Every structure is written in C-alpha cells, then in structure tokens.
Amino acid sequence: MLQQPATQYRPFPSVNIVDRQWPNKTITTSPIWMSTDLRDGNQALIEPMNVERKMRMFRMLCEIGFKEIEVAFPSASQTEFDFVRQLIEGDHIPKDVTIEVLTHAREHLIRRTMESLMGTRRAIVHVVSAISRPFREIVFGMSKAEVLEMAVSSARLVKQLAAERPETDWVFEYSPETFSATELEFSLEVCDAVTAAWGATPDNKIIINLPSSVEVATPNVYADQIEWMHRHLARRDSITLSIHNHNDRGTAIASAELGLMAGADRVEGCLFGNGERTGNVDIVTLALNLYTQGVSPGLDFSDINAVARTVEYCNQLPIHLRHPYVGDLVFTAFSGSHQDAIKKGFALQKPDTIWSVPYLPINPADVGRNYDSVIRVNSQSGKGGIAYLLETEYDVVLPRRLLVEFSGEVQRHTDRFGGEMSAADIWQLFIQTYLEPKKPLRYVEHHLLEHGNVQGIHMTIDINGTTHLLAGEGNGPIDAAVNALCELVANLHVHTYEERSMGSSLEGGDAKACAFIEVAQLGGGGECYGVGVDANIVTASIKALVSGVNRLGLDWTSCSDLQP
C-alpha cells in the first residue's frame, strides 16, 4: 500500500502574495512563442535527432510561424555545434526568425557556444544556471553568494564576447533553472543581478525565463510565483518575461495559461509536449486553446496531421491517440448519446457562425481534420452514430423506427464480434439484414394487371429454392402484393410505408428508389421492417414487403408443399 506521503515530500513552496491579480485576468493576445523542440525536446529523445532530422524540424517550425527557435545546445556535442554552423553557413534561417542556443554558466561552455554563432545575423544566447537549494547544496556545494556570482560572471562573459562580434544582433536570455522550487527572494536577487550585468534597457530588452524545470506545485502556485516576480523585478520594462513549464504533475498547460495571466510575455515549449520526463508544455495545445477562445495564436496548425507526421518522424516517438487536438481519436465519438448530440450539432451548424457542435470544442476542419472520422460505431454506440454514417457515406436516411430496429442488429453484431464498425461495415450489415437476407423468401418478378378500379398482381417468389406464383388484388400495387402474400402469411398487415430516393453512390451509380415497409402478422409476433431498393418504386416496395415478411421469423419449411 502507498504510504502516507506527508513526511516524505516537501510541501508546495509558499508565496507571500495576498492581492494577487491573475485570477481576474483573461488572455487576450498570443504570447511570443519559443520552440525548444530542437534543444529541450531533442535532449529528451531516445535517439537524438541527426542533422537531417533537425533540419526538417527547423523548416517545419519556420513554416508554422515560430519567430524564435532554440536550435541547439552547441557545447553538448559536435552534432549540435555542426547543426548551428550548417544553419548559418547554409543561409537556412529566414530573415524574420531568430535562432537561440543554450549554454550552462561555465566559461569554456560559453566560449564554445559563442563560437558556434559566428557570423549569424541575430541570435539569442540563453544562459542557464540552477539555483534551488538542492542544487546549491547537493549538486554544486556552493553558497547562495557563489551561485549568484556564477550567474553574474557568466552574464558578463557573454556580454563581453558579444561585444567582440558587433555584426550580430545579440539578445540575452537568463534562466534560473529550478525556479519554481527556489526561494522567490533568491530568484529575484539573481535575476536582478543578471539583468543589471547585461545593462538591460527598454530599447535593449533581455529575456528572463522562469522555468518550472520540475513541476512541483499546483498551477495557481506557479501563477503566484510569476506574478510576484512580475511585480518585483527591478527593470521590468527592460525584460521580456518568459515561462518554461514541464509537465511532471500533468498540469503544464494550466500552469502556462495561468502564468500568462500572471504577467508572462513569452512561452517556451515543444510541439505535442515532447521534452524531458513528462515533457515540456505542449505549444500546439496552448495555441489551439487560445484559438478556441477567439485569440489568434499566430501559429499555423491548419494541417495538424502533417505537423504530427513530421514530429513523429523527427522525434521517433508516437503521439498519443487521445492527445488534444491531434490524436487519431479526438474527433471521434463512440458513445451513442455523444454521437446523437454531435449529429444534431452538425445539422444545425451554419457556416461562418459561432461554432457550437456539442462535444467538439473546435471545428475539426480548422485543423485539417475530417468530419468523416467524427463518428465511429462500437458496442457503446447508439442510433445517432449509425444514422450519421449511413447518411453521410451512403446517402441513406432511415425512418426513425427502422433506425431503432437496425441499431439492435448493430449492437448484436458488435457484442458478438467486438471491435469497431466502419461505415462500410454498417452498410454491409444493413444489406445483409434487409436487402439480401438469407432465404427463405426471394422476390423474382411481378406483373401488374388492371381490372377496372381493382389492381391485380402476379408475383413470382422463390421460397427455399422453389419458385411460386402468387396472385392477389387490392386497391393499389402494394395492397395487391400484400393480399398475394397472404396466401403464405395469414393476416399480413402493413403498419407503415415510406419511400425515399437514394443517392447515385449506391449500386451501380443510378439513382434508386428505396422503400421502407413495416409489416406485422396480426395476432402473431411483433412488427418488423423490410427494405427494398430498385430503380422502379413499385418494385422497390414489393421487394421491401418480401424483405419484411422474411424478417417476421416464420417457419417456412412446410412451404415446399405449396403449389409451384
């Protein structure tokens, strides 16, 4: 059994902020986005990207619309260094895109990092140093003053090396790694000191990035931390305040959204949430969450499947079937009540009006997804899904009571065979059930005869492989056919009759008539539907009648005694 954790884990870091403003805020503009797929994301891969994969990812990030892209950790490996050189020397960086590189706060690493950027037009140099107590005490064995000094001296070195290369437009970024687990006053002291060392001004802003390197608290605590920093940073007007959320508690999206409400201007993250351990915050979800609230995210996910394919190729990791906005199943409803509501929503949704299809927070078409995949049918499904698939794929609109009857057949089928039924599977079952039922009765042909006001009919029916000629009269062709069939089924009665035309997608391409007849044997069992399809509506109706009689479940073995 899991032990009570109270004594084993540190409680949330507390924040002294009584008049917090963020709960009253809403996000009304999109933040500056920074993709760290090629750095933080790449560091977390089982097999880090080679240069070819990195280049593919870089191109796609540019196409999506990222203007800031962290492309590498150049001092970490030759591949990383070479990729930066290839981007610069191959002139692969669009004019409106700024590349970013990460370095730890160590002199030799900083020098190597600056070397990788030689000759670039514009670059963000991202210096990181961990400052929380466990890092100070366990990892570095340093005092607070020493940790502060490491950050400040690194900032000075970066500034000095940058000054030696005036041909590049330099932007500096500092991240107090493990910020969310650090005493706020100390984070502030370090950030203020670095900002001062870089001489940030409103015209020459620097980036202060406040990571939840490991997510250790609820999103409201992170928001409090961000608002506190936002209010206390010494040169706030000279700072682009950035956030960088990891997803250890599964709340990175919420933390980032609240962080933006709390005053952040910029978000670092990865597509579909790749990144160390549980990942970085997912920029796709963040961006599309904004989109569904009427805020244009400035990133293009109109073909989200194409983005997913490239990400899966580059990362060599699959995206979960239920991942927000992109997973294969996220625009799919299995449950009957959901399917029914979605079907009604689609029917009423008008183009260019507020999107309000139940259960679908976004129009799948906006991300290049297809309505066809919206409704799938399994044993949890109901009439709505079946109706939707038959209607959209086969142009068949079933009468309501027939739909109820047929959904029972679908249910029996899925209960028996399990799994999911596609539109084609459902249509096959419909054909087997109503249009090509297993014998005994099969319509062969009929001739109509006029006797004054009376309609006569001669029908040829195959019963268990033997043909029978039946004759009847009535006030119309269907009545006459019912009376002819009464030779076989006493007290046959038609309860309801409907006919519809069907689209040309069916059976050979000609438009067809479809007849739905609900029959019953008075004094016998219950009623059931028969369906007939033919180019001629009378033939379709007689076929429907025969189909219905077949489905009454009568015993036809003695019919071979009938005169052929």
Residues at the contact surface with ligand KIV, assessed by CB under 6 A:
40, 102, 128, 175, 177, 209, 211, 213, 244, 246
Using CB under 5 A as the binding rule, the residues of this chain from 505 to 524 that contact Zn ion are none
Closest contact distance (angstroms) between CB of 276 and ligand KIV is: 7
With beta carbons less than 8 A apart as the criterion, state whether 510 and 535 touch.
Answer: yes
User: Which positions from 71 through 90 interact with Zn ion, judged by CB under 5 A?
Assistant: none
Q: Nearest-5° angle of CA 404, CA 407, CA 408? A: 95
Nearest to 234 by CA among 189, 279, 276, 301: 189
Handedness of CA 300, 306, 308, 311 (dihedral sign): negative
Q: Which stretch binds Zn ion (CB under 5 A): 33-41, 64-72, 374-382, 457-465?
A: 33-41
Q: How far is the CB of 172 from Zn ion (least distance, A)?
A: 18
Binding segment for Zn ion among 38-46, 92-100, 389-397, 464-472 (CB under 5 A)?
38-46
Distance in angstroms between the alpha carbons of the first and the last residue of the chain: 77
Residue 214 C-beta: closest distance to ligand KIV, Å: 8
- Which C-beta is closer to ligand KIV: that of 136 or that of 244? 244
The interface partner of residue 177, options being Zn ion, ligand KIV, none and the CB cut-off 5 to 8 Å by kind, is ligand KIV
Of 36-44, 85-93, 234-242, 307-315, the segment contacting Zn ion by CB under 5 A is: 36-44
Kindly state the tokens that stand for 426.
């459902």
Residue nearest to Zn ion (CB): 40
What are the residue ranges of helices labelled H in 65-99?
A: 78-89
Positive or negative torsion for Cα 332, 338, 343, 344: negative
**Could you tell me the smallest distance in angstroms from the CB atom of residue 246 to ligand KIV?**
6
Q: Which of ligand KIV, Zn ion, none does residue 319 bind to, with CB < 5 to 8 Å depending on kind?
A: none
Q: Is the dihedral of CA 138, 142, 145, 150 positive or negative?
A: negative
Nearest Cα neighbor of 263 from 297, 293, 237 is 237
* Residue 513, strand partner residues: 501, 534
Q: What is the DSSP-derived secondary structure letter of residue 433?
A: I
Question: Are the beta carbons of 135 and 178 closer than 8 angstroms?
Answer: yes
In the complex, the smallest distance separating the C-beta of residue 44 from ligand KIV, rounded to whole angstroms, is 10
The partner in contact with residue 175, picked from ligand KIV, Zn ion, none with C-beta cut-offs of 5 to 8 angstroms by kind, is ligand KIV
Asked if 211 contacts 175 with a C-beta cutoff of 8 angstroms, the reply is yes
Name which of 40 and 227 has its Cβ closer to Zn ion: 40
| Assigned token pair, 562 | 């009938």
Q: Which residue's CB is nearer to ligand KIV, number 175 or number 332?
A: 175
CB of 87 to ligand KIV, least distance (A): 20
Residue 40 near Zn ion by CB under 5 A:
yes
Q: How far is the CB of 79 from ligand KIV (least distance, A)?
A: 19
- Between CA 421 and CA 378, with CA 391 as vertex, the angle to 5 degrees is 20
Q: Whole-number minimum distance, CB 247 to Zn ion, in Å?
A: 10
Residue 128 interacting entry, from ligand KIV, Zn ion, none, C-beta within 5 to 8 Å by type:
ligand KIV
Provide φ and ψ at 264, rounded to 5°: -75, 150
> Is the CB of 256 or the CB of 538 nearer to ligand KIV?
256
Q: Interacting stretch for Zn ion, rule CB under 5 A, among 34-42, 50-58, 530-538, 555-563?
A: 34-42
CA 381 from centre of chain? 20
Please enumerate in sequence order all residues whose Cβ is within 8 A of that of 18, keeping only pairs 6 or more positions apart, or say none.
none
Q: Which residues bind Zn ion (CB under 5 A)?
A: 40
